[in-house]
Amino acid sequence: MELQEKFIRDLLILWTTIDPIGTLALFALLTSDMTSSERRKTALKVVLYSSSILVGAIVVGQVLLSAMGVDLVSLQVAGAVILFLFALQMIFGSPSSGESSKKLDEGHDIAVFPLTVPSTASPGAIMAVIVLTDNNLYPVAIQAGTALITLAVLIACYFLMLLSDRIIAAIGKNGISILTRVMGLILAALSVQILFQALQTQGLLLLK
């Protein structure tokens, strides 16, 4: 039962940090002038690039942190703060994405920036996969389960990108905005929970 709860929590955290809804809206905006074939190719590249970054973070992220002398608890606290700020941005909106995204240089691969980084493989998502696969807490089998959840969220992101026009037409820009803010609220709560857990492991906070 505890394992099931962990995977459900992992799914919620990864869904909100990878943010397929936000990627969907940005993808629809940036690929509006592309053909269907170009859109599919771009969506596939986003998923492949993001998978490489996030799975790579799962495999070597904690090792690199250890080599740099950074304790995972420190990352959890810092990550909780970053996730909370990211959640606030989702709730209250970002002033930058719309018009500035139209000014990208011609020839620039939008699959790399901004669709992969920082939209899909966001700093919050990278932090999340490292914390959720802590080598000191979880065996390889559980870490593999979290990796599969990460890939599942990215696959869902891929299909949402392919269906971006239909989804936006169905629920409208207001619907996208509402969904983004609801997910931001959930992410804010999860970030606070991560912070509490990090403090609890250090004996600085007692939770029932």
Domains parsed from the chain with CATH numbers: 2-97+108-201 (1.20.1250)
pLDDT in single tens digits along all 208 residues of the chain: 689 999 999 999 999 889 898 888 778 877 877 888 999 999 999 999 999 999 999 999 888 888 888 776 777 787 778 778 877 887 887 544 444 344 445 557 889 988 898 789 987 788 889 989 988 889 999 999 999 999 999 999 999 999 987 877 787 778 777 877 887 787 788 778 778 877 776 666 555 4
pLDDT value, residue 101: 41
Residue 111 CA, chain-centre distance (Å), reads 16
Q: Hey, what amino acid is at 175?
A: G
Q: How far apart are CA 50 and CA 63, in angstroms?
A: 20
> b/e for 66-78, b at 16 or more Cβ within 10 A?
eeeeeebbebbbe
- What's the pLDDT score for residue 1? 60
Is 54 within 8 Å of 14 (Cβ atoms)? Answer: no
Tokens of 40: 């599919």
In 116-163, alpha helices (H) = 123-132, 140-162
Residues 6+ apart with CB under 8 A from 146: 7, 10, 58, 129, 132, 133, 138
